[in-house]
Structure 1
């Protein structure tokens, strides 16, 4: 009988310990209900977060995001087969630096100089949502940037932005990339982008009216369809590669040390059509991005916002923001959401600290 009592007591003890362990945990000195499954962090899915700081969709800098999640902007989801790192950004809310647009995006903690660079970024991703509203005449509407090269110095312009854009009612969207000139002189308001189509259309294909859309691209990428990019900068040359099952692989190169656009005569027709009407008709300094520290970004940089198109017909979308209420925006599709399955970064020995970029931009709104 004594042995049976001891065995029963042991079972009760084990049951209580296991049950308590699975129902509560201590967080911020309070006991809360625990999920039945342990949290999977982004840094477990893609273990490269030591090289980045994470900017969230409320404009805050979360720092190096190891063992970190934020259910509004940055977390892990499973599609039934794989874990994916989710980056989510509403149409309206607090922004980082001087941008009009929200982002949940990684920014590299080191910068490198194109002339001495040997740096690389790769990613495999799928875009899950772009804004459901916005002025169709505005080129940036219904778009999200999923990877960048950004300058940390001078005007902080962007020699690379990788876009995904899909109009409402279309099954397929477009992938294209931009080169933004590094403007000559002191007036950076005259800067402009040149857009190159990868699959589907480039940036310049827009609607004729607020709520009419151009034809759906035949060779486009659907929401939820995987694609990959590879960005290499070595000895001043940027090399790009885009891959997706069922689509032709595309490759491009761009010299970051010598401008193609040093005079008005060099400016392409696409730019004259899109940017000249709004006064953005500058030229690029002859040395392009030579001498400027640059760095990679990766995530969801939502290109749709609530600003009036009267301010800028290329970048101000006039989309629904519900006064910045994030949950209302998420409820009716007014946000960008991008899932990353894999990614990698290679940083050259010549790279140096990028802390100056963060100290300048993290507190921009308070200055």
Structure 2
């Protein structure tokens, strides 16, 4: 029995409708896939340091090649300054080699923020806080040199006269040790016009202070019991108010430590005031000055934050405290990064509070850029 025309027409219509529906579904699916493409690009967009810690209007950024990158909003440099994620949080990475072009008169490279305003300790009400972890210090250096294997992660710097540093916060770890030390320095503001006699006094926070060194170039002291490992978070708070600097250091699993230091009245005004640590570390190399009575009073000071690499390639014969004799590969950046001859510090959070009395620090950058 032959199918009638009505049955054939229904089959044709049904087949056509099915074809049309399938075609529409394919087109819609294709459109959805195309619509997803912009989202993929959006996910891959750069996360800048200013997205992680939104305080960059207060700083200029000095890079590990000695250049001043200026105010670093929406900025990255993949060699020295960028962001990363450790699976839990975004971090701002500061990276600085052992050898390369340096900023100002320093022997050491830095990738570091320098505050665009300065304040005067006597009238100050200024504060800096940070949460960070040190990820690498130099793989080479002379163990007898106190600055070997160290990085400065926060500072107060003078913008005037000798441009000395009433505060440097260090992390230092010897090769082969799992734990490193955190300590802070006060540098005297040397009396007179000759600054060659300046010296630092070091105070331990966790682990050793600056003065604990090796007995020869490759023999290291004992590992500290209460030290901080690479990759271990710690916090610092620095406040200067009415001439007094207050420091607070904290880290999970470690005792919280606090310190104070008067920045406008010196305790080192005569040779009899020079402490034993300095007598052993600095006086033998001719750094035996005294401090002016009012210390840093009357000088504009400012905060710094980042990775100020203390290890360099200069011969220890020049200075047994600051010249590390480390590998620099002639300043070749990638070779230094490949074999661990650099400092790397990650910051998760940081804040700055600037008093109304603070003024422009542009003169410092003009002198040193």
TM range (shorter): over 0.9
Give the one of 100, 104, 128 matched to 1:97. 104
1:45 Cα deviation after fit: 0.6
Secondary structure at the counterpart of residue 196 of structure 2: helix
| Corresponding residue of 2:243 | 236
Q: Give the alignment's TM-score, normalised by structure 1.
A: 0.92
**1:359 and 2:366 equivalent?**
yes
Per-residue deviation, residues 181-203 of structure 1 (Å, max 9, x unmatched): 00001110110000000000000
| Structure 2 segments unaligned to the other structure (5+ residues) | 1-18
Per-residue deviation, residues 249-307 of structure 1 (Å, max 9, x unmatched): 11100000000100000000100111111110000000100000000000000000000
Rounded to whole Å, the distance in 2 between the matches of 1:18 and 1:81 is 26
Give the one of 336, 349, 366 matched to 2:356. 349
**1:142 and 2:149 equivalent?**
yes
Rounded to whole Å, the distance in 2 between the matches of 1:199 and 1:145 is 15
The structure with more radius of gyration:
2
Give the one of 294, 303, 310 matched to 1:296. 303
**1:171 and 2:160 equivalent?**
no
Per-residue deviation, residues 143-187 of structure 1 (Å, max 9, x unmatched): 000000000000100000000000000010000000000000111
Rounded to whole Å, the distance in 2 between the matches of 1:328 and 1:135 is 20
| Corresponding residue of 2:232 | 225
Q: Give the alignment's TM-score, normalised by structure 2.
A: 0.92
| Corresponding residue of 1:249 | 256
1:37 Cα deviation after fit: 1.5
| Corresponding residue of 2:4 | none
Secondary structure at the counterpart of residue 50 of structure 1: helix
| Corresponding residue of 2:163 | 156
Rounded to whole Å, the distance in 2 between the matches of 1:103 and 1:17 is 44
Using a 3 Å threshold, how does the CA distance of structure 1 residues 254 and 20 change in structure 2: closer, same or farther?
Answer: closer
Q: In angstroms, what is the RMSD of aligned CA positions?
A: 1.7
| Structure 1 segments unaligned to the other structure (5+ residues) | 24-34, 363-367
**1:315 and 2:331 equivalent?**
no
| Corresponding residue of 2:211 | 204
| Corresponding residue of 1:86 | 93
